[in-house]
Copies of this chain bind each other. A is one copy, B any other.
Amino acid sequence: MEATVDLIESVPLFEPLDTALCQRIQAITQVVAVEADQVLAQQGAMPESFHILLEGQVALASTAADGTTALIEVLHPIDHFVLASVLTRLPYLVTARTVTRARLFAIDALGLLDLVEQEASLANTLLRSVSREFRTMLRQVRDLKLRTAAQRLGCYLLARVKDSEAQKADFRLPFDKGLLAARLGCRQENLSRAFATLRAYGVETHGSRVILHDIPKLKALAVPDELNDPAVI
């Protein structure tokens, strides 16, 4: 299916671009609807499309030679993936798979490369985006090296609450605990135990429902990034 220019312009990534350029992007963009558990990009394959997630969830995972797999990230709308592979013309480092049924833009890789070379505004917006993604990965490296699973879980939960002043919060996990465990880099059993340790810090759970009774106390345990890195993202 063809994408409309309106739809292209509504993507935050493309917000700084003028309409003429969005039209040229639209010309190389398809809207794709897929079921859950479908592969959108295969690790090791050469990039064909740059993907923007409009609805649903997508998991990015990387597999080692022995077959073990590390879940890198779970994406929510509106986010995008495999940008760095497309821009470097190097094989995908991750397999992207839908968690739920989803709707996405698939933007032709070579067409996008052409546009990027000609249009400084597009190059600039992508440059900022890849830079932010780089910082996210760097933080994940620091996380894995320095924090325990319980602290990573605490950070994840704290990141779900928008209001930075709030003392309490109440929300649902966006996906099941198996996926959350993988996202945090541990096993489901350990996630359970991590939730158990966090109970002493005012964390109550009922299935996917989470209640944080004492956010300051939790922050003291988990030490979220905001405290390390002022004005972060």
Of B94, B117, B141, which is within 8 A of A70 by CB? B141
Does chain B have a CB within 8 A of A157? no
A7 within 8 A of B: no
Residue of B nearest to A70 (CB): B145
Residues of chain B lying within 8 A (CB to CB) of residue A206: none
For residue A77, CB closer than 8 A to chain B, the reply is no
How many of chain A's residues touch chain B, expressed as a range?
35 or more
CA distance A185 to B43 in the complex (A): 25
Residue from the list B90, B118, B124, B231 in contact with A91, Cβ < 8 A: B231
Query: At the interface, yes or no: A207 with Cβ under 8 Å from chain B?
Result: no
Residues A230 and B146 in contact in the complex (CB < 8 Å), given A88-B135, A117-B124: no
A131 touches B228 (CB 8 A): no
Check B227–A138 contact: CB distance below 8 A.
no
Most chain B beta carbons < 10 A, residue from A69, A124, A127, A145: A127
User: Shortest beta-carbon distance, A136 to chain B, in Å?
Assistant: 9
Give Cα A65–Cα B222 distance, bound, in whole angstroms.
10
Contact across chains for A133 and B134 when beta carbons are under 8 A apart: yes
Bound complex: CA of A87 vs CA of B232, how far in Å? Answer: 14
Residues from 50 to 103 in A contacting B, C-beta threshold 8 Å: 62-66, 68-70, 72, 83-85, 87-88, 90-91, 93-94
Let me know if A88 and B131 touch, CB within 8 A: yes
Whether the pair B83, A228 counts as a contact (CB closer than 8 A) is no
Contact A65 B228 (CB under 8 A): yes
A135 B72 Cβ-Cβ under 8 A: no
> In the assembly, what is the distance between CA of A82 and CA of B44, in Å?
28
Alpha-carbon distance A133/B83, docked complex (angstroms): 13
Sample of 11 A–B contacts (CB below 8 Å)? A62-B142, A69-B146, A70-B145, A84-B134, A88-B233, A91-B230, A93-B139, A116-B124, A118-B120, A130-B131, A145-B185
